[in-house]
Structure 1
């Protein structure tokens, strides 16, 4: 497997695990494969530099992956999943058992975008008590409204 294929597979797996909402939005408006291809092409100068510096393939892959993750920022999906699991464990378990956890979390991310944007979700703010408090309140309201619409 060549370097581009390895990076494409690694980046794809990371998107699935930590940023599924990106896949949904890309799938609607843009090809995920095209996004990954352009992302890797954007890394071409760094890849060439690392190769010319004699770095091993393993090191190059690790550096490229770190660059990719940094560009994505922290995962809203993983953040909300953790909040849901800690603060609303019964609902979390129900969604997990029904097989709809990922789908519902992606919907929650879309609905909570205004909270993330207002507080400026970043690797620094992801530890913010203010962000946590606002998202817990949002989730409580969201889950209450969702249960009434069923």
Structure 2
């Protein structure tokens, strides 16, 4: 999302997401599905590529394994900024491991992320 904001392309991204889901909406409407069901199915489909959240994963690792830094960043108001930096720093690990819901609990992934966070903190 931050990259989209930097490129001023959030609106384009959202328009593409909505356009991509319109055929599904039309099909569900033709099946007389309730509005709340259509909304939930469409939101799940539109956000599927965003799951699991690297941001939330890193926030959890920080809070559990680097609580002192987590609390300091939270207190100073820089937590979001630092987490965004960590997402970029850990990108190769996430991509290399194929970060997904299936391996979100993998301990080796967590160890690799912890090591990268430690290196980030040393810098």
Quick check: TM above 0.5?
A: yes
- Structure 2 CA distance for aligned equivalents of residues 130 and 142 of structure 1: 18
* Structure 2 alignment gaps of length 5 or more: none
Q: TM-score, normalised by structure 1?
A: 0.78
The within-5 A match list for 1:1-150 is: 23-145=1-123
* Structure 1 alignment gaps of length 5 or more: 1-22, 146-150
* Contact 2:89 2:116 survives alignment (8 Å): no
Query: CA-to-partner distance for each residue in 1:61-88, whole Å, 9 max, x for gaps?
Result: 1111111221223100000000000000
* CA RMSD in angstroms, aligned pairs only: 1.0
Query: CA-to-partner distance for each residue in 1:88-108, whole Å, 9 max, x for gaps?
Result: 001101111111111110011
* Deviation beyond 4 Å, 4+ runs, structure 1: none
